[in-house]
């Protein structure tokens, strides 16, 4: 910022600055042209991360609810099951899978919930060991 010596304020003789030079304005504009797009991209990524975290929490609740229902009702003994649940405006697809475990009497019951956020697929898996001798 340059000061013009012909501008004087009051009786003390202090100089007043007239304004910014063209170079200073161009430098500020160039700085803003770099910083603003980077900031907007960072906000977009933070928004996506927040959406994914929120939807994963909902998917985990759904997986826990489905897993508990399958165990309590005994439906885990039937063939592979799947379905769609809605929470708010979003749909969550779930599928049950029953796999053998290291011990002959144990089975691994897994519920996988899949969902999409901004066109990208995500999934949450929840498993529980079941004793097939206890019914």
Which domains, and CATH codes, for the chain?
20-131 (3.30.1300.30)
Q: What is the mean pLDDT of the chain?
A: 86
Where are the alpha helices (H) located in 1-135, listed in sequence order? 22-73
Mean of pLDDT values over 46-57: 94
pTM to 2 decimal places: 0.70
What is the predicted pLDDT for the residue at 77?
Answer: 81
- Contact by Cβ (8 Å): 107, 130: yes
Q: Bigger pLDDT: 79 or 47?
A: 47
Other beta carbons less than 10 A from residue 61's beta carbon: 15
- The closest of 127, 44, 52 to 90, measured between CA atoms, is 52
- Contact by Cβ (8 Å): 73, 80: no
């Amino acid at each position: 910022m340059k000061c013009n010596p012909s501008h004087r304020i009051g009786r003390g003789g202090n100089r007043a600055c007239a304004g910014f030079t063209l170079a200073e304005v161009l430098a500020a504009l160039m700085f803003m042209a770099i910083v603003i797009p980077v900031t907007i991209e960072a906000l977009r990524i933070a928004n996506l991360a927040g959406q994914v975290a929120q939807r994963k929490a909902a998917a985990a609740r759904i997986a826990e609810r489905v897993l508990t229902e399958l165990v309590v009702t005994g439906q885990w003994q039937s063939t592979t099951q799947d379905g769609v649940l809605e929470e708010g405006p979003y749909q969550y697809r779930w599928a049950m899978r029953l796999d053998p475990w290291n011990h002959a009497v144990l089975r691994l019951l897994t519920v996988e919930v899949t969902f999409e956020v901004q066109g990208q697929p995500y999934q949450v898996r929840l498993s529980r060991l079941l004793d097939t001798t206890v019914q």
